[in-house]
């Protein structure tokens, strides 16, 4: 196999991975990503189809994999596995217990598919790494996982919130817009129906949270646009 064949095989694998992770991709997007012509991408897509990969072409929109098609389990290099173990050490110190639980479950599934020598190496690395923090007595939260789902599914949430400074508890119905992380806390940016505007909530001050069985119209604002507007309006931390 010459260098051109190796390069094309790598690109075909990468295109397949991209199709797996994104719903719809155009030939122009793929050409820009891999530094080849659109015509080359057409040939690559045709080669994948001929090899049995069920690619659906949506005229004028792009390519996607047929619903339900999944790639076989991926393999990790030792360096990639080490990067995951390093991320795990940081994640275990996260201030939100729900995120720690979900990440731990996910990383265990990943570890299960590692080849035996790689798994032994990652176990050694895990036992020889430690991430420490000085804010062990700070409040923690347990709502990040639920809010992530509410945000992507456009479900409003009802929450009991201890107001910063006064400790007054209010009940709010909010529409999750974004989640931000600082070294100390996770923050929820949401449209507050009580205040009729965007507000920022600290997750560690939420006493109770219920995801409502309804949906809201997604906000057209992007996160970058929100930040630009906030510079002028100084969005309050509730």
Per-residue pLDDT tens for 160-212? 999 877 778 999 999 999 999 876 778 999 999 999 999 999 999 999 999 99
**What pLDDT does residue 3 have?**
47
State in Å, rounded, how far the first CA of the chain is from the last one: 62
Q: What pLDDT was estimated at residue 214? A: 96
CATH number of 144-233: 2.30.30
pLDDT of 1 > 50? The answer is no
CATH topology assigned to domain 3-65: Arc Repressor Mutant, subunit A (1.10.10)
The burial class, CB within 10 Å (0-12 / 13-18 / 19+), for 148 is middle
Instruction: Tell me the pTM.
Output: 0.61
33 φ/ψ angles, rounded to the nearest 5 degrees? -65, -40
- Structure letter (DSSP) for residue 23: S
140/78 Cα distance (integer angstroms):
33
What residue ranges do the domains of the chain occupy?
3-65, 78-127, 144-233
Q: Please tell me if the domain spanning 3-65 has the same topology as the one spanning 144-233.
A: no
**What residues contact residue 13 under an 8 Å CB cut-off, 6+ apart?**
none
Q: Give the pLDDT confidence of 14-71 residue by residue, as tens digits.
A: 888 788 777 788 999 999 988 899 999 999 999 988 888 889 998 888 998 888 776 6
């Amino acid at each position: 196999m010459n260098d051109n064949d190796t390069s094309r095989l790598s690109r075909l694998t990468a295109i397949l991975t991209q199709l797996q992770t994104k719903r719809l991709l155009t030939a122009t997007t793929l050409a820009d990503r891999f530094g080849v012509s659109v015509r080359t991408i057409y040939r690559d897509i045709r080669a994948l189809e001929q090899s049995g990969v069920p690619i659906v072409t949506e005229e004028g929109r792009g390519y996607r994999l047929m619903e339900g098609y999944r790639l076989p389990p991926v393999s990790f290099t030792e360096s990639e596995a080490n990067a995951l173990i390093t991320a795990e050490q940081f994640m275990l110190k996260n201030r939100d217990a729900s995120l720690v639980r979900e990440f731990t479950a996910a990383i265990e599934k990943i570890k299960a598919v590692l080849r035996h020598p790689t798994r032994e190496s990652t176990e050694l690395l895990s036992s020889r790494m430690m991430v420490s923090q000085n804010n062990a007595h700070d409040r923690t939260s347990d709502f990040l996982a639920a809010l992530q789902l509410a945000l992507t599914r456009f479900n409003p949430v009802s929450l009991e919130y201890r107001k910063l400074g006064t400790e007054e508890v209010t009940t709010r119905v909010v529409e999750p817009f974004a989640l931000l992380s600082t070294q100390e806390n996770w923050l929820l940016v949401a449209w507050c129906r009580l205040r009729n505007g965007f507000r920022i909530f600290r997750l560690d001050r939420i006493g109770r949270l219920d995801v409502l069985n309804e949906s809201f119209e997604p906000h057209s604002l992007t996160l970058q646009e929100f930040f630009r507007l906030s510079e002028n309006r100084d969005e309050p931390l509730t």
